[in-house]
Structure 1
Amino acid sequence: MADAPARFKDLCLDARDHQTLADWWCVALGYVRRDEVEPPEDDWTRPSDWPVPIVDPSGAGPLMWIVPVPEPKIVKNRMHFDVIGDTNALLTLGATLIRPRDVDTTPNYAIEWDVLADPEGNEFCVFSPE
């Protein structure tokens, strides 16, 4: 089988307040800022206006970049990510419920996940732990 022309590398998420959103996702996912676990060489400090890399300290999850952008999120995401977790706990952290599970307009189609948005409106799906 031939090599694919691309492979998944990182996940990037746009944010107006990228520092605050990076902290929110760290709490929500149990992630940490990468610079905390892999300190830059020569006492270099990441400039505050640069994207913030966050990582799963166990190494299991993908690297996420929280990227500063000047504009607010306006329309629905064309791509989103799924998490396994506790919807109520995420709502308590500041997520917004967009659509609860089991609610859909498609006949005979049950939804088994909640659709939430992070504090900046980026949608994600939450599945219950098995």
Structure 2
Amino acid sequence: MDDPPQALTRTQAQEAVEGIGWRLLLGELVTAVPLDSLAEGAGLLAAVTADLGAQGDAHLRADLRPDHLRLTLQDRSRGAVTAADVDLARRITAVLDRPVAPVGDRRVGDAQELEIAVDALDIPAVRPFWAAVLAMVPQPGDDEALVDPAGRLPAVWFQQMDAARPQRNRIHLDITVPHDVADARVAAALAAGGTLLSDDEARAFWVLADPEGNEVCVCTWQDRDAQDRDAPSPAVSPAG
């Protein structure tokens, strides 16, 4: 039996698709195609799925709206991006860029993902409650995070606390954006009355607060893996 494909580091995954209109968000490759109608999007999605065949079932997820088609790629059984996903991204891009169905630039800046973070002293004690009340299941590849099996609700993850913090909120939002729009998102939030509490971990995340102290982190994939900081050239070469 062949060994399963190796998961790529965040840097390897993003560099491999940077030039073809995809971005890495929460362990998925994401692109968004602007549309004029549902019919246009249905035609594009049909062309994509016909090209990918059965292989697409294990990797591709699609969200079709009248104004855009959002596509995500990940090895769903492992919860990780592999070289196979990069290959599929290139194949999908080739389909979308065919002269018979030109779609223009993909709007990667519109792609984003929301997570809910729960600070807890005893994560194994509180996680079953959240799984039950939200009807969620463990995330593949990360049993400590919970995901909606239907893919509609934001993921919930649990942050270990060393001591109780009754003086501040213990649930906050994490908004993950493409790495090349993070600075603008932070600037917009600050201009709208927010406060920068910490940029010690930037570019991985910036901690912001609204005027009453409620917190949100603006997150990217960058600077999260030690191996990424001194990583060699990507295992898959970028297209271009």
Query: TM-score, normalised to structure 1's length?
Result: 0.41
The structure carrying a bigger helix percent of its residues is: 2
The higher radius of gyration belongs to 2
Query: TM-score, normalised to structure 2's length?
Result: 0.24
